[in-house]
């Protein structure tokens, strides 16, 4: 079954530490995206990549970094520079023709 997998589902981080969230897809999709959802807020775009070895900043990229070395993988690193990292993070992918996104099940990051 094709799909998009995020891991881990829950993640705890100490203040000052970097942490990397995994996102893998086997849908053969070219484009991948990272969103953040906070309570009572919508989906805010962090980074996106339309092709391997290329990515662009979204609306709230500060304090985050990404890489796209393989078509299937788009990991997100939450750095210590991100002031409010506690949130629900969603990864998505889409085909060449962006008719719809397929989302992963999300990772809830909590800073302790």
Partner 1 sequence: DQQVKQNSPSLSVQEGRISILNCDYTNSMFDYFLWYKKYPAEGPTFLISISSIKDKNEDGRFTVFLNKSAKHLSLHIVPSQPGDSAVYFCAANFGNEKLTFGTGTRLTIIP
Binding region for partner 1 (CB under 8 A) out of 14-22, 62-70, 74-82, 96-104: 96-104
Answer yes or no whether residue 61 interacts with partner 1 by CB under 8 A.
no
Which candidate, 44, 38, 60, 41, places its Cα nearest to that of 92? 44
- In the complex, least distance from residue 16 CB atom to partner 1, rounded to whole angstroms: 26
How far apart CA 61 and CA 67 sit, in angstroms, is: 13
Residue 64 beta carbon to partner 1: minimum distance, rounded to whole angstroms:
17
Q: What residues line the site for partner 1 (CB under 8 A)?
A: 4, 6, 31, 33, 35, 40-43, 45, 48, 88, 90, 92, 94, 96-106, 108
């Amino acid at each position: 079954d094709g799909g998009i997998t995020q891991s881990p589902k829950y993640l705890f981080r100490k203040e000052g530490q970097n942490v990397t969230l995994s996102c893998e897809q086997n849908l053969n999709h070219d484009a991948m995206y990272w969103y953040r959802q906070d309570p009572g807020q919508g989906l805010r775009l962090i980074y996106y990549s339309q092709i391997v070895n290329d990515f662009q900043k979204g609306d709230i990229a500060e304090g985050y970094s990404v890489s796209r070395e393989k078509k299937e993988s788009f990991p997100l690193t939450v750095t210590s520079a991100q002031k409010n990292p506690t949130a629900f993070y969603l990864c998505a992918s889409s085909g060449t023709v962006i008719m719809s996104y397929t989302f992963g099940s999300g990772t809830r990051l909590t800073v302790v």
